[in-house]
A and B are shown apart, each in its own frame.
Chain A
């Protein structure tokens, strides 16, 4: 997805001369095409993320739209206060691109697992926090937020993933996108784990459970009417995120339900445990209950309890 994202960024940069790309010395074999096409708007600041966020704020103050690029952990956390005091406080169009959320860098070990990036970004009113599910949606987010005055955080999957046909690249701020209809339960998800969730829904179909799937790529600071409408249409909702459950998508769903007095029952699936050792993305997801079987079980158990009642 990151490759498609950089391609899309090159297209945007050809149209929009404000765009700058800044890296803290990561993105080998991915960023060269931008650097070659726009050498005057490409900047490698060295391994110095705090300075990168400060430089980006200064450039944005002079009318540019800098995209700062790093692995999601470093992009979101090493310069977090700089993002807060700079771009967020001054509402400057700095775009933070965090590559490989969740367990994407599984084998790299826990220092590279971005588990709280979405939650901490979402906690700032002035930051637009996005986790597109596939390349087509990632492209779409770029053009939708082109004129958002304040900072935007993009969590972008490292690996190439097929596009989700029923999503068809749709994206609007605040809004969930329904990618599969179903009547028994709704899975609400975000980012690249959406692909797993769609598999879960197929698996449940075979067990006679009809599961809908919606993708909420914008983890908004406040609950939205669009999300409220969607959640109110289901008795049971399961939120799935590849990140800590405190503050992220599950929290947004819970806040929406509570604030609007919805009767919807919610099960929050995400990372609750402490750090894991390294392993493959698949292994680590499974370890934290984010594999298709475990996620399907949540709906199946609900379904049984309904029959029992």
Chain B
């Protein structure tokens, strides 16, 4: 299961399609849900991990760190790691099988996973601590934390948001996966956070809204926003749960539902490369 440094794909569109296919195929093989959440962040990860972050997931002490605070979308993370050669094919297929390191939430011990997540609300605080530590020892490394919109229901997220602003952690970047859905309904109906972008801005962050499935838009937003920030930055990315599979898009049940072989085939047919 040796890790190879594959050449980064130049075509992000085909990379994200391959990731989506992996998500569908592996969810079926392992009979595990959380598919909609993984598909919702696929394009963000494809851009971040190839175009934005420096040496992510390796052991360079000055690498950019990535924390998937919305841990339940782990399969999307494993897919990009596989595509980058940071996971072997054999390892990838152990997803949610006995004694695997590839669980439904990222587990500590898997190289490339900076911090285990799964309990919502904690990732941004850990990111704050890492960012503070990097700054303290003069490292250029940055920390990218991907949170979900519903995760912002957790009070701890706002403790971290205040802390990062007060400490001017300009090496901290949050990305909000604004798919508008949470476990039991729409975010609007359950706990409406109105404009998350405004809320972060009001707390002193540089706040940038972006279309979360448009690669070019994501690329230019990241590049423009991270040139020389003087404070922490959040990218509020408008996304759709289940993006890329017509019968899953914005459908609540695909937060949890598992696939059947027939449904998987239909989904894959929609994603011919």
Contacts and interface: CB of A to CB of B under 8 A. Distances in A.
A19 to B, nearest CB: 12
B159 A62 contact: no
B133 A51 contact: no
Contacts of A63: 133, 137
Interface in A20-72: 40, 43, 45-46, 48, 50-51, 53-64, 66
A224 B31 CA distance: 43
A58 B125 CA distance: 8
A86 B130 CA distance: 12
B162 interface: yes
Interface stretch (B110-118, B205-213, B231-239): B110-118
A282 interface: no
Contacts of B33: none
B162 A86 contact: no
A61 B130 contact: yes
Given A85-B118, A90-B116, A55 B162 contact: no
B132 to A, nearest CB: 6
Given A46-B162, A53-B125, A54-B160, A89 B137 contact: no
B38 to A, nearest CB: 21
A82 interface: yes
Contacts of B137: 62-63
Name the residue in A51, A59, A82, A86 with the highest tally of chain B Cβ atoms < 10 Å from its Cβ: A51
A81 interface: yes
Interface in B113-128: 114-119, 121-122, 124-128
Contact of A62 (B118, B119, B134, B163): B134
A237 to B, nearest CB: 39
B128 A54 contact: yes
Nearest to A24: B159
Nearest to B109: A90
Nearest to B117: A85
B119 A55 contact: no
Contacts of B119: 81, 85
B140 interface: no
Contacts of A43: 132
Contacts of B166: 46
Contact of B126 (A40, A46, A61): A61
A58 B130 contact: yes
Contacts of A85: 116-119, 122
Contacts of B162: 46, 48
A124 to B, nearest CB: 15
Contacts, number: 95
Given A51-B125, A86-B122, A59 B132 contact: yes
Contacts of A89: 108, 116
Contacts of A54: 122, 124-126, 128-129, 156, 160
B131 interface: yes
B129 A56 contact: yes
A55 B108 contact: no
Contact of A51 (B116, B128, B131, B136): B128
Contact of A90 (B108, B156, B160): B108
B128 A64 contact: no
Contacts of A53: 125
Nearest to B157: A51
Contact of B163 (A55, A60, A81): A55
A62 B125 contact: no
Contacts of B136: 40, 62, 64
A51 B134 contact: no
Contacts of A48: 156, 159, 162-163
B155 interface: yes
A48 B121 CA distance: 13
B163 A61 contact: no
A46 B167 CA distance: 12
A-B residue pairs, 10 tightest by C-beta: A58-B129, A54-B125, A62-B133, A51-B159, A55-B129, A48-B159, A58-B130, A50-B156, A58-B126, A59-B129
Interface of A: 40, 43, 45-46, 48, 50-51, 53-64, 66, 81-82, 85-86, 89-90
